[in-house]
A and B are shown apart, each in its own frame.
Chain A
Amino acid sequence: MKIVVWIESNSGKVKASSLEALGSARLLADSADGEVIGFCCGEGAGEVASSILSAGAHRIITREGDSLTDALSDAFAAELSQIATSESADLVLASATSSGKEIIALAAGGLGTCVASDCISIRHEGDAFVTERPIYAGKAHHQQKWITSPAFISLRPNYGETVERDAALVDSQEATGKSVLKRTAFVEGSLGKKELTEAEIIISGGRGLKEPENFALLESLAEILGAAVGASRAVVDAGWRPHSDQVGQTGKTVSPKLYIAVGISGAIQHLAGMSSSRTIVAINKDPGAPIFSVATYGLVGDLFEVIPRLEEELKAVLQ
């Protein structure tokens, strides 16, 4: 069994979710005497490779080159398709981030196949990969078996395992892929803002916050927990928060280790985006709010009293 893992990085720093993909690949490979090849592509690939030597890959291939400057996913996907072919991969794996999903879909399409997207488990049964993924807004789980090779799978962030293994060998290659489209400008947003889909802890706010300014309460709590701040559709539609913060059916699907819903009633559209989170905390003054039906722990109370207390006590405990 040969598994190629797409390694995603940002400004030379590997994504935690890619380390999970790498670890999960290694656990699959270990059970079948297989090999894991990490693939780092683009500017700073060598630097990224040297930071993940012991993260589960037997080998790491890097590709860098001028042709990838300001390139988009099509160029990276072409490199990934090439590696999948030249290595005769049985499985190509990526983390299901926005960028990861785009690149793996283009890479699969380039080889005339498709992706089992955003999976929460991957097994190897007989000679086939079997995947499970939530669909229909989390109301169903779909199990599929690959009947062609190679399989292309993206793994939902926070659903993989990291490992530590002997250092991988690094093979540095020259990239040749070119992008038809180019990134011609980049406007930096709120600096250091955490990407929702990859966050381990998310604190989301809804209408119960009453005013957009009151999101400051959640932001300050988020800082203590190292969390990202999300929002319900209602407050995004009201213009309080940007669409990129929206959790739910027409927003992001997230599955952090801890999801804290503050002043969110829990409409089905919202539950669709967060019900696969490991631990869910609901803070709401209405004990009948639907959010309590999915909450691991519920706290009934006025958020304007509860959140400042939570912040104060967390500060004492965590610092």
Chain B
Amino acid sequence: MKIAVCMKRVPDTATRLTFAPDGQSIDTSEVQWVISPYDEFAIEEALRIRERHGEGSVTVITVGTESSTKELRQALGMGVDDAVLASSEEPLDPIQTARALASILESRADDVVLFGRQAVDSQGAQVGALVARLLDRPFVNDIAAISIEGDQVRIEREVEGGREVIEGPLPIVVGADKSLNDPRYPKLKEIMKAKKKPIEIVTPETGAPALETIALTPPPPRPEGRIVGEGPDAVEELIRVLREEAKVI
């Protein structure tokens, strides 16, 4: 069983963002980086698939600067076998990122490629789907369960109105949702082992962008709010402002 996980490092949500003077990016010098939370579910599931099958390998892949090796080491510390860094100093748009990943994945013949359902910084929920199309493999996002029997895969996911079961042949590309598992904490022994695991650095094919950044700015401030009152007696005023000012009920 050959498994790849594509992950992204993102600023911790609690991090305060500082905008760069060019108005097109954030100042990353003070940013606290973490593995995007949904990617941790993807890594955990990859390890569980490998464990259930009693054999196989899990490779973690990311696109970014060389400082991303820190988060790759974290994944290796969870039990991933090896890592690939598609090195890119330039900011990439989603299709460029997808091409970079696809250029690495196409020669690997993975049975399963896992992504997080979306990165929590760019929130696009698309790179997994783009990679799947570039590789001409089927894709299912938001998966809540996955099991593999021979060359057949069975997936469950929550959709509107219920839970659907999806079946078909390998290979497949999937996006992990939160309900999939609880990611493990790296054990000290694994962290020590991770220091010796290989990280291959490659220069990927990214091609031309489809989108160009015009501006990255703080959101417009929300209109100043106010306290309408205290306790149940303030309910009448709350209903009044919702009907007459906000006109939402």
Contacts and interface: CB of A to CB of B under 8 A. Distances in A.
Contacts of B129: 102, 105-106, 109
Interface stretch (B50-58, B135-143, B188-196, B197-205): B135-143
Most B CB within 10 A of own CB, among A10, A193, A272, A297: A297
B17 interface: yes
Contacts of B235: 299, 306, 309-310, 313
B138 A74 contact: yes
B249 A201 contact: yes
A83 interface: no
A310 B178 contact: no
Given A114-B95, A302-B231, A243 B218 contact: no
**A interface majority secondary structure:** mixed
A141 interface: yes
Given A99-B159, A144-B214, A301 B142 contact: no
Interface string A101-121: 110011011101111111000
Main secondary structure of the interface of B (DSSP, over half): mixed
Contact of A310 (B131, B211, B238): B238
Given A105-B126, A114-B130, A189-B161, A225 B227 contact: no
Interface stretch (B60-68, B71-79, B81-89, B239-247): B239-247
Nearest to A283: B238
A128 B101 CA distance: 28
Given A115-B126, A180-B138, A281-B238, A143 B215 contact: yes
B210 A147 contact: yes
Given A140-B26, A292-B227, A299-B228, A278 B248 contact: yes
A224 B242 CA distance: 15
Interface residues of A, number: 91
B237 to A, nearest CB: 9
Interface of B: 11, 13-14, 17, 19, 26, 37-38, 93-95, 98, 120-126, 129-134, 138-142, 155, 158-169, 172, 177-179, 208-220, 222-223, 225-232, 234-236, 238-239, 241-243, 246, 248-249
Interface of A: 10, 72-74, 98-99, 101-102, 105-106, 108-110, 112-118, 130, 133-148, 179-189, 191, 193, 195, 201, 225, 242-244, 246, 249-251, 253, 257-258, 268-269, 272, 275, 278-281, 287, 292-302, 305-306, 309-310, 313-314, 317-318
